[in-house]
Every structure is written in C-alpha cells, then in structure tokens.
Chains A and B, each alone.
Chain A
Amino acid sequence: GAVVSQHPSRVICKSGTSVKIECRSLDFQATTMFWYRQFPKQSLMLMATSNEGSKATYEQGVEKDKFLINHASLTLSTLTVTSAHPEDSSFYICSASPAGRSEDQPQHFGDGTRLSIL
C-alpha cells in the first residue's frame, strides 16, 4: 500500500517551455503533498508543501511564480515549472502521507521526474 505515482519520469524540452509534473496517491488520500528538488549527489531540498483546496506554502528562496503548485483533489498535486531555463534542470520528487488515520503516517515518495532544459 501507500503508492505514489509521479509522471512523467523524464522530460527534455527547450528553454522557455512550461512543464507540468503530476503526483498521484494511488491507494490513499492525501491532504498534504510535498515537492522536493534534488541535485546530483545531494539530499532532497523541500520546495513547497501542497495542501488540498488551499494555496501551497513555499520554502524560502523558492519562486512562487516560477513553480506553480495545484492540489485540486485528495489524490493529485501538480507542479508546473513555468518558462523553464537550463538552471531549472534537476530531479523533482513528490511525497505524500495518508490522511485521516488515527496515528501519523510516514511520507511515501514518487519515483521522481528528471527535467532537462536545453
């Protein structure tokens, strides 16, 4: 159980393109999802916390207008990288934890999206 699916797994596109990444919880509902960014040989860096039905909370230094997050349902959050540039090339990973349980549940991660901007 607790499967998180992320799509697409790999994106290569030209500079200036906007790219949308989907994160779905397949067998549970998640009121909160998280978006991370990971550079080679480094740990995960939290970008934003996505809350179902409300605005996302961004970490310091993360541009809200650059990285648009939408969490329209209890099983889907999307991250859109707007007008992407080569410096946005990275590995983007989402996570979610089951909602509505009597005890706290750990976060489960998707398999990530490798974004390459040419």
Chain B
Amino acid sequence: QKEVEQDPGPLSVPEGAIVSLNCTYSNSAFQYFMWYRQYSRKGPELLMYTYSSGNKEDGRFTAQVDKSSKYISLFIRDSQPSDSATYLCAMTRGSNYKLTFGKGTLLTVNP
C-alpha cells in the first residue's frame, strides 16, 4: 500500500461546477497537509495548508482533513477555466521533513 493514494483522473468539469479532490494516506505520523496546484512546466504553487484535522477556507477553496479516517479533501467552488491544472496533495510530519505527495489529479474546467 502506498503512503498516499490520489486518483490521477483526468477529471473534466464544466465552468461553475464544484470540484472535489481527495487523498487517502496510511501514515498516522503525518500532521501537516497541503494542496498544491501545478500548471504545465511550472513548479507547484501552494493552495492550502492545514495542521491536523479540521476545515480551512480560502476564497473558492476549502480544505478538509479527517485524521481519524486518514482522508483529506479539497473543494473548489465556482470552478474557472484558469483552475485547469494538476492538483497535488502532500503531507509531512513537520516543515523540515520531506513531503510525501499523491500522484496528482489532472483537472480540466471547460468554458
């Protein structure tokens, strides 16, 4: 079993749709959970950063962490064509520890 599982998609939705992305993990030592967005030929851009369980909202983005289920989610409301990218979940024990990434989900938002 891989440490972090993420459905690679691809996922295609119409503009304005609510997008749900998720990852599961097996290592209970993970305390920090991140979602990164990566456009083609660019480095990952931090979208959301959450410590332990709970919800965090930032504009159209909501991140949820359920440590009891080892499950994290990212919701994108009112999706836009500019949201089309690969979304990577990542997690770690602490900031100076290595990140463990999911495979990434390729999202396309169609106008």
A-side interface residues toward B, CB under 8 Å?
Answer: 2, 4, 6, 31-32, 34, 42-44, 46, 49, 91, 93, 95, 97-98, 103-112, 114
Give the contacting residue for B43; candidates A31, A104, A105, A111; CB below 8 A: A111
Which among B13-21, B73-81, B101-109 touches the partner chain?
B101-109
Give the complex CA separation of A42 and B92 in angstroms: 19
Given A104-B51, A109-B45, is A44 in contact with B88 using a C-beta cutoff of 8 Å?
yes
A107 touching B95, Cβ below 8 Å: yes
A109 touching B44, Cβ below 8 Å: yes
Give the contacting residue for B96; candidates A4, A31, A112; CB below 8 A: A31
Given A44-B44, A93-B43, A111-B43, is A106 in contact with B95 using a C-beta cutoff of 8 Å?
yes
Could you tell me the dominant secondary structure of chain B's interface residues? loop
Given A43-B104, A44-B88, is A107 in contact with B99 using a C-beta cutoff of 8 Å?
yes
- CB pairs A–B below 8 angstroms (18 shown): A42-B103, A43-B88, A44-B44, A44-B88, A46-B98, A91-B41, A93-B44, A95-B43, A97-B96, A98-B95, A104-B94, A106-B49, A107-B34, A107-B95, A107-B99, A109-B46, A111-B42, A112-B41
Closest to B101 in A: A43
Closest to A48 in B: B98
Q: A43-B104, A105-B95 are in contact. List 11 more A-B contacts (CB 8 A).
A: A4-B43, A43-B101, A43-B103, A44-B88, A44-B99, A91-B41, A103-B51, A107-B46, A107-B99, A109-B36, A112-B41
